[in-house]
Amino acid sequence: MTVTTAEPPAALATAVALRHRRTPPQRVVLQGFLILTSLVWMAPILWAVYTSLRPYAETARLGYVSIGGIYNLDNFVNSWNGAELPKYFLNTLIIVVPAVILTLFLASMVAFAVSRYSWRLNLLLLMVFTAGNLLPQQVVITPLYRIYLLVLGIPEPLSDNGRLYDQYLGIMIIHIAFQLGFCTFVLSNYMKTIPRELNEAAVVDGAGVFRTYREIILPLCRPPLAALATLQFTWIYNDFFWALILMRTGDKLPITSALNNLKGQFFVDNNLIAAGSILVALPTLIVFFVLQKQFIRGLTLGSTKG
């Protein structure tokens, strides 16, 4: 980000202020336009919330576009229990937590090596990782599906059929492999802004490569790591595709992929769909409300430097 310290000269500032003061009607129009747009933008979500609060019998009697009748949380209770949402939430948790931690750990090591030491292969490595992250998932899926079926002999706690197919481990690995690209790119950009002298000082003090990484560089990378963790949590949580193809057992699906089966099976009317959607969106909505800064920072770190 550009740092601007110079204040505009006084004359300039007043000129700008005058310009602004002269155009209040424009401001009013702008405010009105933005309020209207925001409402239109929120409308689908507000509509989902409204529908979810009304029992199906009420909307069948009064119509969906109506006010009155009973409002309660039955749809939430019914979709939570009927669709066995806790089971799928747990599946997601089993996949997301290790995947995010391992992705950041592995990416930070590559980024460290690429940004702190000059090797001939640095640029190539960075290109491989960055390009890999931009590939459409479907380009990889056909052979990947076969590899997941072919690999044998994965020991028991990691895989209960010896394969990567139909396993939490398999889903975790493909997320890590894919997301490594983006995280390496972002972290190496960030690490480049850390003065190289820090490395040299560490070496003079007798610290090895790993100690320099762990005790000097990594602590300085807390801001991008926090932003990336937020972003990766959301992305992996929201992924629909990998588990759709690489999992067969319905009971092991993460929540987002499970939606496809739940549709029509448990979510039989719009009221239940609305309640189910809100429940499934809840973790990401919490990210939105609580960690908004981190999320946006993560998104923009990839596109602007620092």
Partner 1 sequence: MVGIPTFIHVFFIWLPTIASGVLSFTSWNGIGLDKIRFIGLKNYTDLFTGVYPPFWPAIQHNLIWLAVFTFVATPIGIFFAVLLDKEIRGTRIYQSALYLPVVLSLAIVGFIWQLIYSPDQGLINSLLGTAKTPDATDWLGDRSINLWMILIAAGWRHVGYIMVLYLAGLKSVDPNLKEAAAIDGATETQTFFRVVFPVLRPINLVVIVITVIESLRAFDLVFITNRGLNGLELLSVLVTNNIIGEASRIGFGSAIAMILLVVSVGPIIYYLTRSLRAEQA
Q: Which of residues 105-124 bind partner 1 (CB under 8 A)?
A: 106-107, 109-110, 112-114, 123
What single DSSP character describes residue 212?
A: I
Per rule CB under 8 A, count of chain residues that contact partner 1:
108
Task: Determine, following the binding rule CB under 8 A, whether residue 15 of this chain makes contact with partner 1.
Answer: yes
Task: Determine, following the binding rule CB under 8 A, whether residue 285 of this chain makes contact with partner 1.
Answer: yes
Q: Token digits for 27?
A: 């401001």
**Residue 188 or 206 having the CB closest to partner 1:** 188
CB 224 within 8 A of CB 301: yes
Pick the closest to residue 105 from 225, 209, 188 (CA basis): 225
In angstroms, give the least distance from the CB of 215 to partner 1: 15
In angstroms, give the least distance from the CB of 202 to partner 1: 16
In angstroms, give the least distance from the CB of 32 to partner 1: 11
Query: Cβ atoms within 10 A of the Cβ of 14, count?
Result: 12
Integer-rounded Cα radius of gyration of the chain: 25
**Residue 123 or 201 having the CB closest to partner 1:** 123
Instruction: Tell me which residue has tokens 């599946």.
Output: 91
Q: Token digits for 92?
A: 């997601």
Site for partner 1 (CB under 8 A): which residue of 76, 88, 89, 129? 129
Which range binds partner 1 by CB under 8 A, 74-82, 154-162, 206-214, 215-223? Answer: 206-214
Task: Determine, following the binding rule CB under 8 A, whether residue 24 of this chain makes contact with partner 1.
Answer: no
In angstroms, give the least distance from the CB of 265 to partner 1: 14
- Supply angle C-alpha 160, 101, 89, rounded to 5: 60
Q: What is the DSSP string of 40-89?
A: HHHHHHHHHHHHHTS-HHHHHHH-SS---S---SHHHHHHHHHTTHHHHH
CB 161 within 8 A of CB 248: no
Site for partner 1 (CB under 8 A): which residue of 93, 98, 154, 192? 192
Task: Determine, following the binding rule CB under 8 A, whether residue 51 of this chain makes contact with partner 1.
Answer: yes
What is d(CA 232, CA 154) in angstroms, rounded to the nearest whole number? 26
Task: Determine, following the binding rule CB under 8 A, whether residue 64 of this chain makes contact with partner 1.
Answer: yes
Task: Determine, following the binding rule CB under 8 A, whether residue 223 of this chain makes contact with partner 1.
Answer: no
Task: Determine, following the binding rule CB under 8 A, whether residue 12 of this chain makes contact with partner 1.
Answer: yes
Question: Per residue in 56-75, is it b (16+ CB within 10 Å) or e — as a string?
Answer: bebbeeeeeeeeeeeeeebb
Task: Determine, following the binding rule CB under 8 A, whether residue 155 of this chain makes contact with partner 1.
Answer: no
**Residue 2 or 156 having the CB closest to partner 1:** 2
Site for partner 1 in 68-107 (CB under 8 A): 106-107
Task: Determine, following the binding rule CB under 8 A, whether residue 31 of this chain makes contact with partner 1.
Answer: yes
